A and B are shown apart, each in its own frame.
Chain A
Amino acid sequence: MISELAWSRSAMIGVAIILFWVFVGVAAPVISPYSPTEMHDARLQSPSPQHWLGTDHLARDVLSRLFWGTRVVVALAPLSVLLGILIAAPLGLISGYVGGKLDTLIMRGVDILLSFPTLLIYILIITSFGPSMLVVIISISLGSIPPITRIIRSLVLDVRTKDYVSAARLRGEQRRYILLREILPNVSGPIIVDTTIRIGYAIMAIGALGFLGLGIPPPTPDWGGMINEGRQWIFAMPWIVLAPAVALSSVVIGLNLLADGIREIAQQR
């Protein structure tokens, strides 16, 4: 699979960007020049040899905070999406394969939830239960479930009529076997593409929530939170805001490039 990715230039660039940030996230304690909460001598310093991205309003090293903030993003986003898939996949598979009343019921529910503006859902949930990592993860996975269900269902509908599925049914295989062994592997391609893009959405959502003050509470470094806190210092030291904004955008760009690349490759096949 990885070697196939080499076919597409977009995919390679995307992978490079993503791997870079994953590395940063994992290695943050080692590669950060300072601790993210340590307060140094002077606040709001411009970039200098001691502080490559300067210091923030509490005299903390911006670069270290940026690196540490990667962990939140790199961990929470895929986690939320995976959690969403865990719940959405069975729903979508069953709905698409079994059809009938169950399908109608599930899809009705999905449609209703899809018509609710996602950011509003997040705001409602987080202001009711208080911002914390757990609440953010749950909100975002809840928000991902309807669209993922829908996509999986339509993929299943596509595949359901294929020969190998009919063959399996004629063989007398169990429904569960058909779903897991015949259908699921054959829809995995588009699902991977969608998941990649959805992780990008999750990252943007985490950033937006942090920006609105509904994200991970301080002092845990978080890109969205850095932008929220740093907004009032934009004139004194714009890097507090610019660095996480650029970082966030680059991760999402990487994910989108990867998704594009995978799609290209699938088309070549």
Chain B
Amino acid sequence: MLGFLLNRIGTMLLTMLVISMLVFFIAEVVPIDPARNALGRYASQQAVDDLREKMGLDRPAPVRYFNWISNVLRGDFGDSIHFQRPVRDLVAVRLERSLTLAGLGFAFMIPLGLALGCIAGINEGKPPDRIISLISSLFVSVPAFASGIFLIVIFSLWLGWFPGVSIPDPDASFLESAKKLILPILVLALDEIGYLARMTRVSMAEVMKSDYIRTAVLKGIPKRKVIWRHALRNAFIAPFTAIMLHVNWLIGGVVVVEVLFNYPGLGRLLLDAALRNDITLLMGGTLVLTFVAVATQVVADIGLYFMNPRIRFG
């Protein structure tokens, strides 16, 4: 077991290393001069050259990469070119906001998705299954930006129930802040719920047909008890970890939602950094975000390992 854990963590570190090189390489390709970008149009060429030297831009790429990586490992991600503040501070604040959004989206979506998938799986082939499957297919096919726009038009503009603004206001009451988050959370949830319901349905249907369940029924245990006690536990494993491994898709959804609702999270920060060629911020932020994704996957992997006795001993 220890071997397994070490293996996973080792892979994670290797992954992060390779990704850091990839990110650095792509940033290298961009032809914008970061020093000029930082100082603006009116600065004298001398000032730009001085800054280039200070930023170490004249040194060869491998040297710069090494410097960057060793700083990162010490917790120093450099300063954002546009904001002229430490990347670490910027990313930390925005990351917290994105995690809040994603976490709430998950909390919203998981019970509903699981419930829908269960009902569909148990009643395979019958009307509840057909309806739920149809709805799931629909949700899976409507991209986040489309559903977001529909929801904004309906709930914010026509009905006026929820604000179309999701800019956090530290002075606002809890209820007001909560209302601001409802629509983005809803969009995120809808983006994932179809997928979760489908996976749950499939694994639930499989489990219902397994010998394991049939034996229990034959033993005389009432069907409802069978479902609750045996089927659920087994059926939940696969979708739960499938969602964790689906985290990259979720990140894409978070970026889109943040742009759509003007929510100042990490996704939007990275998009803006990319558009502005704020290389330090882009590299640091991408590394952090990827780390979150990779770490989630590793956690899911470990969780799956522990939850599934078959894998452990098989």
Contacts and interface: CB of A to CB of B under 8 A. Distances in A.
A249 B142 CA distance: 5
Contact of A112 (B19, B144, B149, B271): B19
Nearest to A253: B141
Given A212-B255, A253-B138, 5 more contacts: A116-B19, A127-B277, A212-B256, A249-B141, A252-B141
Contacts of A212: 255-256, 259, 271
Given A115-B293, A118-B248, A207-B145, A127 B15 contact: no
B73 interface: no
Interface string A228-243: 0001001100100110
Contacts of A235: 157
B35 interface: no
Interface in B157-188: 157
B2 interface: no
Q: Which of A118, A129, A207, A208 has the most CB of B within 10 A?
A: A208
Interface stretch (B22-30, B55-63, B83-91, B302-310): B22-30
A127 B30 CA distance: 8
Nearest to A127: B274
B146 A129 contact: no
A228 to B, nearest CB: 9
A257 B138 CA distance: 10
Closest 9 CB pairs of A and B: A119-B252, A245-B146, A252-B141, A117-B251, A127-B274, A253-B141, A117-B248, A211-B145, A249-B142
A111 interface: yes
B157 A260 contact: no
Given A120-B286, A248-B146, A208 B251 contact: no
Given A111-B11, A128-B26, A207-B143, A117 B290 contact: yes
Nearest to B30: A128
Q: Place the interface of chain A in its size category.
A: 35 or more
9 contacts: A116-B293, A120-B286, A125-B26, A129-B29, A207-B146, A227-B145, A248-B146, A249-B146, A260-B137
A241 B251 contact: no
Given A118-B248, A208-B143, A208-B252, A123 B30 contact: no
Contact of A204 (B29, B138, B143, B270): B143
Interface string B269-302: 0110011010000100010011001100100000
A245 to B, nearest CB: 4
